Amino acid sequence: MIRALALVIKAGILIAVVVFLSDLATTGAVAIDYGGYLVETTPGILVAGIIMLYAVLMMLSSFVGFVANLPRRWRGYRAEVARDDAYRALTQGLVAVAVKDGKGVAVEVNSETDFVANDDNFKSFVNAVAAAALASGANDVEAVKAATLADGRTVEEARATAVQTLGENIQIRRMVKVDTTGNIGAYVHTNGKVGVLVDLIGGDVELARGLAMHVAALKPPHNKAADVPAEFVEKEKEIELAKMSEKDKAKPAEILEKIISGKIAKIVNEVTLAGQPYVLDTDKTVEQVLKAAGAEVVGFQRLAVGEGIEKVVEDYAAEVAKAMQV
């Protein structure tokens, strides 16, 4: 189209020149007799007409070429869209929880953009998925997809409808559950990006919820010291020993062991729920709060939207160009 526009501009310039010359060439005439029709004009006007006809034919040729290439262009466009859809990571979304009669579930549903994640239709769908997962007793994502919603549709059918309505890929990524004879602490952060379930024996629901808030905020990797892998402890010992001065390393073995053990104990406290300062009362550790309440955390589950997902970024220009040449 750019080349056609350039031709029009060139033709316009030529026409202007020819018309100017034709005004000078007032003498002489050209007569064309074809099929009984007689057309008379000046040489300048005739030349101008021929140039205009040439320009029109060139524009028409460009247009025909453009139309003829539409299928190829469309294939290239579809190839690009397919690549984009295949590799576009679903890093946005929401977490929802549902709790009833000592059972609790948390689900993570992903979307492509935060815009869709904030849509009321998407929020309603995620909450419905959590409710269906709880009611059905599902143990994994595939079972959740087969669960039935209140309106009679399966979760998978509702997901397909949501994709069409919202115009983005939507997937149910993860589901975790808690089944206990104690209290379940359930918490979803205000932005819907983090959800937690805590299994608490003893204490009360208020304490369980407070602990869920703590896990959401400080995200401890482990529940208590006994849950910390031995490999992690040994690695930290090596690191702390390497950081010590030669003077400290020269101390008696029993003293050196006490120094290292003290440092490791501090590190273990940092990576365990029990050892961390309680987020609602930082003067006490979670362990102290639990002991005072006569309670014990059996375990907890924490889901954060997009956790562990890496967006794949690649250059598909060559592939798209190749597809357009087919």
Cβ atoms of 59 and 6 closer than 8 Å: no
Assess if residue 106 is contained within a domain.
no
List the chain pLDDT tens, one digit each, 326 residues. 556 556 556 666 666 555 555 554 555 666 666 666 766 766 666 666 777 777 777 788 778 878 888 887 776 666 555 545 544 678 999 999 999 999 999 999 999 999 999 999 999 999 999 999 999 999 999 999 999 999 999 999 999 999 999 999 999 999 999 999 999 999 999 999 999 999 999 999 999 999 999 999 999 999 999 999 999 999 998 898 888 888 877 888 888 888 888 999 999 999 999 999 999 999 999 999 999 999 999 999 999 999 987 655 444 455 445 545 54
Whether 23 maps to a domain, the answer reads yes
**Domain span including residue 38:** 2-68
Residue 53: inside a domain: yes
Asked whether residue 159 is domain-assigned, the answer is: no
DSSP state at residue 306: T
Instruction: Tell me how far apart the alpha carbons of residues 86 and 282 are, in angstroms, rounded to a whole number.
Output: 46
Per the domain annotation, does 305 fall within a domain?
no
Task: Please give the Cα distance from 23 to 70 (Å, whole number).
Answer: 44
The CA-to-CA distance between both ends of the chain, in Å, stands at 21
pTM: 0.68
* Short-list 273, 280, 151, 161, CA closest to 218: 273
Can you state the angle between helices 2-24 and 43-68, rounded to 10 degrees? 170
**Rounded to the nearest 10 degrees, what angle do helices 317-324 and 70-87 cross at?**
150
Tally of residues, the chain:
326
Q: Which of 135, 295, 137 is nearest to 206 (CA)?
A: 295
At residue 93, what are phi and psi to the nearest 5 degrees? 140, -160
User: Would 31 be classed as within a structural domain?
Assistant: yes
- Whether residue 40 is contained in a domain is answered as yes
Total domains, the chain: 1
Residue 30 lies in a domain: yes
